[in-house]
Amino acid sequence: MDIFKKCRATVEAVKRAKEINIYPYFTPIESVQDHRVKINGREYIMIGSNGYLGLASDERLKRAAIEAVEKYGSTCSGSRFLNGTLDIHLKLERELAEFFEKDEAIVFSTGFQTNLGIISAIAGKDDVVIIDRQDHASIIDGCRLSFAEVKKFKHNDMNDLERILKSIPHNKGKLIVVDGVFSMEGDVINLPEVVRLKNKYNARLLVDDAHGIGVMGEKGRGVCEHFNLLNEVDIIMGTFSKSFASLGGFVVSEKDVITHIRHTARALIFSASMTPASVASALKSLEIIKTEPQRRERLWEVTEKVRKGFKELGLDIGNSTTPVIPVIIGEDEKCFAFWKMLFENGIFANPVIAPATPPGRALIRTSYMATHTDEDIDIVLDVFARCAKVFGLVK
């Protein structure tokens, strides 16, 4: 059989979606990714971005990136392991470790590579990795690369997590890996219970807090700080592509763990390092996160206004408690059609279908930014109200 057969099947599916004008992916944006964007010359309200603090358009980040390019050039032309470490990489790592009150940090070129690197470096064929069924794809792929045994517990179900932990032999190394904020439905891991169980069963814990850092916690240190458990979580992972408005990922932990990852993580050793512009903009964002709490305050004002509005409309928003607020639609085709109507009315959101969500639970993923205006949100709520009536989601 021709191994390319599957490729042609994908092509046909994409072609059909484009023919009936419901293909929602790879839309080219012509402007900075802020609360409003330009697509084909038309302005759209952006509620599909992960730039929660609205820093992508901040002039200070732009200037930091430009100055870094002027000093260091456009790339490091190699991996961190060899010629690709700059002094600003080390500065960023020191500041991250201090921010999270951990011994050390290491930065990767992307968030996806960060999870690949951490998990495959820490877990091996004699270990067990226990993950939430709705963990991010990078966690799943990191588990595959580790060659460890993988066990999945029901989403945010602490009884099921304990059942699995109980079944693992004492002589096995155990790593629990969870998202802090689940990126599709915006709900938060029951971290206090996860920590209790990891201590009870002598496991280690990695929290992927990509969508929590910069957003949650008194100082913006994410879900671990939100629950006052920074010191109880063994490894914290984050990304620079969301609240930090840059590109890359990082991990903070105790010194021995970071030293091990630094010298064994293939995703780090065999990848070119973060570009100077990305490092400089991440450093500037970290400074802003630490010194401008009003951005988080505004983000939560916007979030609560949307959440209240969606609930008053009668929309199903699942268990979201964060600036990621889904609208549950149901079937895939209905979800794509709903997305199309939003887009035609000037709203950029994201349709999400299986396997990113359970089958039959397709949703419109919306997410909010500190730079959204009250006018933006009034328009969003009005458009959702009209679309929801057309599709029979509300009376």
Which residues are designated catalytic? 183, 211, 242
The values of phi and psi at residue 252, to 5°, are: -120, 140
Can you tell me the distance from the alpha carbon of 29 to that of 39, in angstroms, rounded to the nearest whole number? 5
Q: H or E stretch including 328?
A: strand 324-330
Q: Are 158 and 132 in contact (CB under 8 A)?
A: no
Smallest CA-to-CA distance from 333 within 318, 354, 356 is with 354
Task: Look up tokens 């973060």; give the residue.
Answer: 274
Q: For the chain, percent helix, then strand, then coil, each to nearest 5? A: 45, 15, 40
Spatial CB neighbours of 238, under 8 Å, sequence gap ≥ 6:
111, 208, 209, 210, 213, 222, 249, 250, 251
Can you tell me the distance from the alpha carbon of 181 to that of 369, in angstroms, rounded to the nearest whole number? 16
Q: H or E stretch including 347?
A: strand 347-348
Can you tell me the distance from the alpha carbon of 257 to that of 272, in angstroms, rounded to the nearest whole number? 22
Cα dist from 142 to 71, 177, 205, 251, 336, whole Å = 35, 10, 15, 14, 30
Instruction: To the nearest 10°, report the CA torsion of 70, 240, 220, 67.
Output: 0
Say whether the peptide bond before residue 192 is cis (omega within 30 degrees of 0). no
**How far is C-alpha 183 from the geometric centre of its chain's CA atoms?**
6
Q: Report DSSP letters for 286-326, one per residue.
A: HHHHHH-HHHHHHHHHHHHHHHHHHHHHT---TT--SSEEE
